[in-house]
Each structure stands twice: as structure tokens, then as C-alpha cells.
Structure 1
Amino acid sequence: MIRVRNLRKEYSGFVAVSDSSFSVEPGDVFGIIGPNGAGKTTTLKMLAGLLTPTNGTATVAGLPADDPEMRTRLGYLPEESPLYEEMTPNSYLRFFADLYDVPRDVADERIEDTLDALDLAYRDRRLGDMSKGMRRKVAIARSLVNDPDVLIYDEPASGLDPLTTNYVLEFTRDLSAQGKTVVFSAHNLFHVESICDHLVIMNKGEIVARGTVGEIRETHGRTAYHVFTSVPLRETTPDGDRHKVVVESMAEVDAIRDAAQAAGGDVVDLRTDEPSLEDIFLDLAKGATTA
């Protein structure tokens, strides 16, 4: 559905995105994360056909990203999405449906269904009088008026309260279940971890990790095993009526068990501490090995 090959964007010698390559399969929720200035928004804008790459190619829904026909199959949501404040949600969305030549009866049904799914009330209230969360829902609905195959969302839940954020995340997952492909950026890594099928981590314009959350955790994270024994060992420290040591492999766990049994005791508890996506992200953002 999306194919990116050696995508690069330079501004007067500054490299915003450096030779990025990745693929997104139909129906995937694909995350792009990284610190400020990592190249996330620039990448999304190139995918949406809003920026011309310096080098490389991007195809979306089988079409070049700069092909006007591609935009009829795309829904794009920028991080900041000003709305026409004098309009109501209904009139605003019908206006954009007209721009896409969506028949009025089809548009009306689609708008109503989308606003129902987003739990948006007050559809005839001025947009200028609505809360940020309600306005964001209208912006998301706008991205869907043309029934696109691919959705590109830049920080879809930015600045929203927890309840509205949950609606947006659940709605994003529902879109994937309908077969739509969603590419989005986010700063909240818990959100990314909870809904992404695959993701890339960017830093200084480069992709430094890629895969599922599990694959990234396995490749770039370090799992810690907290081993508790019934007898003291040279490696352990007291922990109440037990003794504790932290190791990084199951081979070391087995060695602790053997030592405990040789001393007349045993391993009485074992706890696994896996790194969070945030832990891995922070390590990579400090300049860890590039993928």
C-alpha cells in the first residue's frame, strides 16, 4: 500500500530526512516516532504529496505521492488543523465532500456515520464555539469524507484530554479493521505501543529502528531477570527473607539456580522486566546504533 525507497529531503544543505526506506501493508497501523526534529512530519508531508523529495521515491495506494489522483485516495490530518470557524461541522464536511465530488446523499450518510462513530454532538454549532477535542474530531471526519484507502495522521491526539484521546485511538484501530491503512506520528509512546502493528523510530533524519514493538524490543532492548533465592550467594543481595540478583539472560538464571541448589537452596521466584518502548526510544535518541 505504501512503498518508500531512499527518501531524502534537504533544505539548503540541511538533511531533514536521510535516505529512508520502509513499507506499509494494507490495513496496517504504522507509527513513525522520534524526538522533535527527527524528520517525522517531513516524512509524512512527502507521503501526502505536500513536499517534493530531494531524492528517492514514495508510492501511496500504488501511485506516486505527487500524483493528483493519489490524493483522491488519501486522507491527511496535519498536527495543526485550522477550521473555518463560522461553519458548523455539517456544513464544513459537506463543503469538503463537494470538493471531492462526493454525491450529496452519499456524503450526508458518510458524514453522519463518521460523526456518530466519533461520538460528536452539537453538529450545528459554530466550529469557533467548539472545544479543541470536538474540533479535532471534525478534522478527522474531514479526512474521511472521500472514503480514502490511506490515512496519514500527524499527532492525531495532540493536546487532547484522556477521554477524547481514547476515542481517537479506538477510532484509528477501527479504521484499520475496516481495511484502511493508517500512518501516524505520536509523542505518546504508550499510544504507539497500544495500537501500532509496525513502526519506525527516527532520529536526526534517519531510521534507527524498525519492526513490530516486540521485534524492536528484542533487537534494541535488554530484558532483565530478577532472580530470588532461598539462600545467600556471592552474587545476591538481601531482600527481606530472600536474596536477589538481577541478570540479563536465561543462561545466567540457570547458573544462579545451579549455585543455589548446590548451596542447599533453590530459586523461589523469577520476575521478568522487559524494556518499555519509551526506554528503547530514549536509548536510541541518544545516538544508539542505526538499524
Structure 2
Amino acid sequence: MIRVDDLRKAYDGFVAVDGSTFEVDRGEVFGVVGPNGAGKTTTLKMLAGLVEPTSGDVEIAGASAGSLDMRRNLGFLPEESPLYEEMTAHGYLEFFADLYDVPTETARERIEEALDRLDLEHRERRIGDMSKGMKRKVAIARSLVNDPDVLIYDEPASGLDPLTTNYIIEFTRELADDGKTIVFSAHNLYHVESICDRLIVMNHGDIIARGTLDEIRDEHGQTAYHVYTDVPVRDAAHDDDEDHYQVVVGDMDAVERVRREAQADGGRVVDIQTEDPSLEDIFLDIAGERVESAREPEAERPTQEVET
């Protein structure tokens, strides 16, 4: 459904995106995550045809990025989405449906369905008088008026209260279940973890990890094993709630070592609990490594002669 090949964007020598390649399947929620300045938004705007790549190719539903066919089959929600505040929700959405040449009756049906699913009240209220959450719902409804197969959502729940945020995240997953293909970016990695089928992690314009969460966890994460014993062992802490001792280790060999130590002191292992790293844990680890590698001491960097 989406194919990105060696995508690159440079601004006056600054490389914002450096050779990204990935594919997104039909009906998939595909996450794009990374710290500020990683190249996420630039990537999404190139996919939407709003920013022209320096080099590389983007194809969406068989059409080139920025082409008329692609635009008709795409819904884009930027992180900041100014609306026409003098209009009502109905009037605003009807205006955009007309821009897409959606027949009047079809447009009305789509608009009512979208607003019903988004649980938007006060649809005849002036948009400028709406809350931020209501405005975001109107912007999401706008992305659906042309019934696109592909949706690109950049921070769809940014700055919203928890209730509205959860509603929008769940609605995004429902759209994928309906067959929409969604590229999704968010700073809240819990949301990415909860709805994305696959994802890429970006930093300094590069893709530094990719795959399903399980694949990324297997490659970059570290499972922790919480081992509980009934006698003290090396590095163990006393569990105040139970008459047990707890030690955290990183592999099964270490678990076996704890078992032998407990047995040698006349005790035993009473419980073992595994803790898989969250996406946030992995992200902080691999993005942090990349940041540190970019901060080499000045004395270790190669020097260059400067002509004067």
C-alpha cells in the first residue's frame, strides 16, 4: 500500500531524513517514532506530498506522492491543524467534501457517520468556540470526508485530556480494523505500543530500529527476571511485604546461579517473574546510544585544515 525507497531530504546542507526505506501493508497501523528533530514530521510530510524529497521515491496506493490520484486517496492530519474558526463543524466538513468533489448526499452521510463515531456534540457550534478536543475531532473527520484508503496521522492526540486521548487512539485502531492503512506518529510511546502493528524508530534522520514490537524487543531489549528466594542470596533485597528476598538478573544462567546459591544455604526459589522492556525503555536505550555516539570528545574528532 505504501512504498518508501531511499527517501532523503536536505535543507541547505542539513540532512533531515537520510535514506529511509520501508513499506506499509494494507490495513496496518505503522508507527514512526523518535525524539524531536529525528525526521518524523518531515518524513510524514513527504509521504503526504507536502514536502518534496531531495531524492528517493514514495508510492501510495500505486500513485506517486503529491499526484492528484494520491491526494484523492489520502487523509492527512498534521500535528498542528488550524481550522476555519468562523464555520460550524458541519459547514467546515461540507466545504472540504466539496473540494474533493464528493456528491452532496454521500458527503452528508459520511460526515454524520464520522461525527457520530467520534461522539462530537454541538455540531452547529462555531469551531472557534469549541474545546481543543472537539476541534481535533473535527480535524480527524476532515481527514475522512473523501473516504481515503490511507491516513497519515501526526500526533493525533497531542495536548488532549486523557479521556479524549484514549477515545481518539481507540478510534484510530478502529479505522485500521475497517481496512484503512495508517501511518501514525506520537510522542506517547504507550499509545504507539498499544495500537501499532509495526514501527520504525528514527534519530538524526536515520532509521535505527524497525519491525514489530516483539522483533524490536528481541533485537534491542533486555528481559529482566525477578527471582524470589526464601533465603538471602548475593545482591538480593528483602521484600518487606513478604518473607522473601528478591534479586533481578538478566538471563536464565543467572537465574540458575541464584537457585544454586539459595539451595546451598538450605533455601529455594519460590517465584520467578519476567519483565519485558517497554517501547519507551527500548527507545531511550537505542536513541540514547545514538545521541552519545554523536557527542564524541572534540579531541577524538579528526581535524581539518581550513583555508583562509
Given the two structures, how large is their TM-score scaled by the length of structure 1?
A: 0.95
User: In the alignment, is residue 47 of structure 1 matched against residue 65 of structure 2?
Assistant: no
Give CA deviations for 1:34-85 in whole Å, capped at 9, x if unaligned.
1111000000000001111111111111211122211100000111111111
Distance 1:139 1:40 in 2: 20
Distance 2:290 2:46 in 1: 26
Paired residue for 2:277?
A: 275
Give CA deviations for 1:167-212 in whole Å, capped at 9, x if unaligned.
1111101100100001011011111111111111111111111111
User: In the alignment, is residue 169 of structure 1 matched against residue 169 of structure 2?
Assistant: yes
Paired residue for 2:232?
A: 232
Distance 1:62 1:217 in 2: 32
Quote the offset at 1:265 in angstroms. Answer: 2.1
Q: CA RMSD in A?
A: 1.6
Paired residue for 2:128?
A: 128
C-alpha contact (below 8 Å) 2:30/2:196 kept by paired residues: yes
Paired residue for 1:4?
A: 4
Paired residue for 1:154?
A: 154
Unaligned runs of 5+ in 2: 294-308
User: In the alignment, is residue 78 of structure 1 matched against residue 69 of structure 2?
Assistant: no
Quote the offset at 1:275 in angstroms. Answer: 1.5
Task: Give runs of ≥4 in structure 1 deviating > 3 Å.
Answer: 232-241
Paired residue for 2:303?
A: none
C-alpha contact (below 8 Å) 2:203/2:290 kept by paired residues: no
For the structure 1 residues 223 and 145, does the alpha-carbon distance in structure 2 shift closer, same or farther, using more than 3 Å as the test?
Answer: same
Distance 1:158 1:247 in 2: 37
Give the match's secondary structure for 2:22. strand
Distance 1:270 1:243 in 2: 12
Paired residue for 1:139?
A: 139
Paired residue for 2:217?
A: 217
Paired residue for 1:251?
A: 253
* 56-65 or 174-183, larger mean C-alpha shift: 56-65
Quote the offset at 1:255 in angstroms. Answer: 2.9
Paired residue for 1:188?
A: 188
Paired residue for 1:261?
A: 263
Distance 1:190 1:239 in 2: 29
Paired residue for 1:35?
A: 35
Distance 1:229 1:69 in 2: 64
Paired residue for 1:201?
A: 201
For the structure 1 residues 234 and 131, does the alpha-carbon distance in structure 2 shift closer, same or farther, using more than 3 Å as the test?
Answer: closer
Give CA deviations for 1:195-250 in whole Å, capped at 9, x if unaligned.
11111111111111111122212211111111122233345454453333221012
Given the two structures, how large is their TM-score scaled by the length of structure 2?
A: 0.90
For the structure 1 residues 93 and 266, does the alpha-carbon distance in structure 2 shift closer, same or farther, using more than 3 Å as the test?
Answer: same
Alignment of 1:94-105 (within 5 A): 94-105=94-105
Paired residue for 1:62?
A: 62
* 16-25 or 267-276, larger mean C-alpha shift: 267-276
Give CA deviations for 1:239-290 in whole Å, capped at 9, x if unaligned.
4533332210122212322333344321112122222211111112213499
Unaligned runs of 5+ in 1: none
Distance 2:239 2:164 in 1: 43
Q: How many residues align?
A: 290
